[in-house]
Amino acid sequence: MRLNVTVNGEPRQAEDVWPGESLLYVLRERLGLPGSKNACEQGECGSCTVYLDGTPVCACLVAAGQAEGREVRTVEGLAEGEALDRVQQSFVDAGAVQCGFCTPGLVVAAHDLLARVPEPTDPEIREALAGNLCRCTGYEKILDAVRLAARR
């Protein structure tokens, strides 16, 4: 199929897409947006979290065909020009980035949490981000980053 999808505000097209391939594959391999990461392909780890029509989803679990005509926002689309989004800046400032592979998904998940809950409690943060694995296990610093972003 020819896939029409709006990504980070821009209408994009991809040709010869098998409707069953994942949105993650389309983003990474067809549209040149490798920020969203593939780490489990089964929705366990959250590394591929993107917004689909404003709702965070695991891009590995969304079929390309399901994204037809919809809006996707990835980690590449969070910053306003050169300025990092407050969540991104807070991840840097709090030391919440280590190997960085889980980071794009966590940044999107945290961005969504703060959009829904501007002042989350610690248990709310832990619960909201429990679906995002970090094997450097920087969870304490990630918590700090979300607290910091909430204050900004």
Partner 1 sequence: MTVSPIGREIDRVDGPLKVTGSAPYAADYRPEGLVYAYLVQATVGRGTVRGMDVSRAEAAPGVIAVFTPFHPLPLKSPSGESGENYSALQDTAVRFRGQIIGLVVADTFERARDAAALVSADYTVTPSRTSLADAGPGVPQGLVQKLAPGVSSIDAALASSPVTITTSVSQHAHHHIAMEPHATTAVWVDDQLTVYCGAQSPQRAAATIAARLGVEPAKVRLICRYTGGGFGQRSPVWNEALLCAAAARALRRPVKLVLSREQVFTAIGHRAAVRQTIRLGAEADGRLRALSHDSDGELPAAGGWQMMPGRDTSAVAYRTPNIRIDQRLVTLDTPPTWSMRAPAEAPGMFALETAMDELAVRTGVDPVELRLRNYATEDPVEGHPFSSKYLDECYRVGAERFGWSRRTALPRSQTDGDWLIGMGMASALYPAWRQPASARARFRDDGRVAVASATSDVGTGAFTMLAVVGADELGLPVSSIAAEVGDSALPPGGVGAYGSSVTTSTVPAVQAACRAAVKALVQSAVDNPRSPFAGLAPATVRYRQGRIEANGRSVDFRTLLRTMGVPHVEAVSTSAPDKSASQYKFHCFGAHFCEVRVHRLTGEPRVNRFTSVFDVGRVVNAKAARGQLTGAIIWGIGHALLEADPIEPDGRFAAASMADYLVPVHADTPEIDVHWLDRPDPHISEFGARGLGEIGLVSSAAAIGNAVFNATGIRVHDLPITIDKLL
Return the H-helix or E-strand segment holding 37: none
Q: Which of 14, 56, 104, 120 binds partner 1 (CB under 8 A)?
A: 104
Is residue 20 near partner 1 by the rule CB under 8 A? yes
140: tokens are 């304490």
Q: Helix or strand or coil: residue 123?
A: helix
5 vs 143, beta carbon nearer partner 1: 143
Secondary structure tally for the chain: helices H, strands E: 5, 5
5 vs 48, beta carbon nearer partner 1: 48
Region binding partner 1 by CB under 8 A among candidate stretches 23-31, 51-59, 65-73, 113-121: 23-31
- Sequence-distant (6+) residues with CB within 8 A of 125 are 113, 143, 146, 147
Q: How far apart are CA 39 and CA 62, in angstroms?
A: 15
Q: How far apart are CA 43 and CA 5, in angstroms?
A: 22
Is residue 138 near partner 1 by the rule CB under 8 A? yes
Is residue 29 near partner 1 by the rule CB under 8 A? yes
Binding site for partner 1 (CB under 8 A): 18, 20-21, 25, 28-29, 32-42, 44-45, 47, 74-76, 78-79, 84, 88-89, 91-93, 95, 97-104, 107, 125-127, 129-143
